[in-house]
Amino acid sequence: MSYPEIDFLFLSEEDMIEAGVKDMPACIDTMEEVLKCLNQGDYVMAGENHNSHGSQISFPKESPFPNMPLDEGDDRRFMAMPAYIGGPFDMAGMKWYGSNSKNREKGLPRSILTVMLNDKDTGAPIALMSANILSAMRTGAIPGVGARYLAKKDAQVCGICGPGVMGKTTLAAVLASCPGIREVKVKGRGQKSLERFLTYAKEKYPEIPVIRGVDTVEELVRDTDVIAFANSGNTDPSTYPLVKGEWIKPGALIIGLSCFELDARFLADRCRLVVDNTALYEAWAEEFPYPSFGANNIIGSKFTDMIHDGILQRKDMHDLGDIIQGKKPGRETEDDIIVFSVGGMPVEDVAWGKRCYERAVELGLGRRLQLWEKPDLA
C-alpha cells in the first residue's frame, strides 16, 4: 500500500466463492492454525479481557420512538466482532453482523455479514468482503478440527441436530475429518427443512450409503459416533434438546455449536470436556453472571457454571489447543465420551478472510475502491 493514498479490495460473494471460501479441508487446516495461535496467546479480541466475543446492540421490547426496532423474538440485533490474530496470519479485522429472522420473508438470510480486514499498524482498510459463506465455513471447520483430534478413528455414524446452514457446514467438516462415516442421521424441528437437508446431503455425498431423518434426540444419539448440535436455541435451558447419558455410545464425540442439555453429574463423572478456547468461556462467565448457561446457550458455559458450583475442577476443562500441540492427550481410551464446546470467535473470521483475500489477489478477483487519494484532515 502506498500512503497517503488508500484503496482497498472489495470482494463480492461470487468473488469469495471463486477464491475458495467453500474449500472445507483448507478451512479446517486454517482453523487448526487459529487454535494454535489462541493457545499461545497470539491474538486479541474485544473487551478489557481481550477475549470478548464482540459488542452487541439488542433492542427493547417497547419504545416511545416510532422508528426504534423492537425485540419481538425475531433475533433483531447488530454486532461488531473485532480481532487481531498473529502467527501465520498477522492480521486485524472485524466481522459486522446484522440479524433479523424476518429477513426470510424478503428472500434474505437471517444474518447479513461482512468482514473488513485492516492494516494492523495504520488501521487502513485492506479488504471488504461478503462473509455469510465465510462465517458458515469457519463455524463448521472448528468441529472438523475437533473431530480430527477427538473422534474415534473408526467412526462410522454421524448425527446432526439442526438441518440449517450450520448443520450443512458441520457435516462437511465431520466427513472431511472422519472418512469412515457410512451413515448420517439428521434431526430437525420442521419436516420441510429436514427434507431439504436430506435432499441436499444425498446429492452432495452420494458415497454415504445411509442418510436419513430421525424423530427424536434419543434416536439421533444412540449408536452414533459423532453427534453435532447445530440447532437454533434461546435462553431457556429447559427447551434445549435433552441428551441422557444412557443413550450415549462409549467412545462418542458430542460437538456443541449450539444448545443442548446434559446432566452435570454425568458430564463431570463420565465425560472428557474440551473447549475451543478456555479464555473465551472465562470471558463469558464475566459477561453473563452466574449462571452463565442459558444467558449463553453454548455448553462450555455449563462447564464454567459447574466449576463455580464445585462439581468440576478447572483442570478438567481441557483446551483443544493443548491437545493439538501435544501438551495434553485428547482421547485417552477408546471408550472416552468427549464433549467438545464450540463458541465461535472473530479471530476465525479474520484468519479465513485473510486466506481468501490472498487467493483473490492471486487470481485477480474483486475490484478496487478508493478511500481517498489524499486525506483532507491529515
pTM recorded for the entire structure: 0.95
pLDDT tens by residue, 23-45: 999 999 999 999 999 999 999 99
Q: Give the confidence band of 2 by pLDDT, cuts at 50, 70, 90.
A: confident
pLDDT in tens, 311-333: 999 999 999 999 999 999 999 99
Alpha helices (H) along 94-239:
132-150, 165-177, 191-204, 217-221
Read off the pLDDT of residues 117-152 as tens digits, 9 standing for 90 and up: 999 999 999 999 999 999 999 999 999 999 999 999
Percent of the chain exceeding pLDDT 70 equals 100
Which of the four pLDDT bands, split at 50, 70 and 90, describes residue 72?
confident
What average pLDDT does this structure show over 254-264?
A: 97
Q: Residues of the chain with pLDDT > 90: what percent?
A: 93
pLDDT (0 to 100) of residue 236: 87
Q: Assign 84 a pLDDT band (cuts: 50, 70, 90).
A: very high
> In the structure, what pLDDT confidence band is assigned to residue 65 with cuts at 50, 70 and 90?
very high
Distance CA 259, CA 129 (A): 29
Q: What is the pLDDT of residue 70?
A: 93
- 87, pLDDT greater than 90: yes
Cα dihedral 143→144→148→153 (10° resolution): 90
β-pair partners for 186? 160, 213
SS3 (DSSP) at 369: strand
pLDDT grade, residue 240 (50/70/90)? very high
Domains of the chain: 6-135+347-372 (3.30.1780.10), 142-345 (3.40.50.720)
Query: What pLDDT, on the 0 to 100 scale, is given for residue 283?
Result: 93
Q: What share of the chain is helix, strand, coil (3-state, %, to 5)?
A: 35, 25, 40
CA–CA distance, 154 with 243 (Å, rounded to integer): 23
- Phi, psi for 57 (deg, rounded to 5): -100, 120
pLDDT at 73: 80
Q: How confident is the model at residue 116 (pLDDT cuts 50, 70, 90)?
A: very high
What pLDDT score was predicted for residue 342? 98
Q: What is the rounded average pLDDT for all residues in the chain?
A: 96
- Which is it for the CA torsion 16, 22, 23, 29, positive or negative? positive
Amino acid found at 283: A
Query: Which residues have C-beta within 8 Å of that of residue 362, sequence separation ≥ 6?
Result: none
Quote the DSSP letter at residue 290: S
Give the C-alpha separation, 375 to 96, whole Å.
25
pLDDT for residue 335: 97
Residue range 167-222, pLDDT digits in tens: 999 999 999 999 999 999 999 988 999 999 999 999 999 999 999 999 999 999 99
C-alpha cell, 362: 492471486
- Confidence bin at 17 (pLDDT 50/70/90): very high
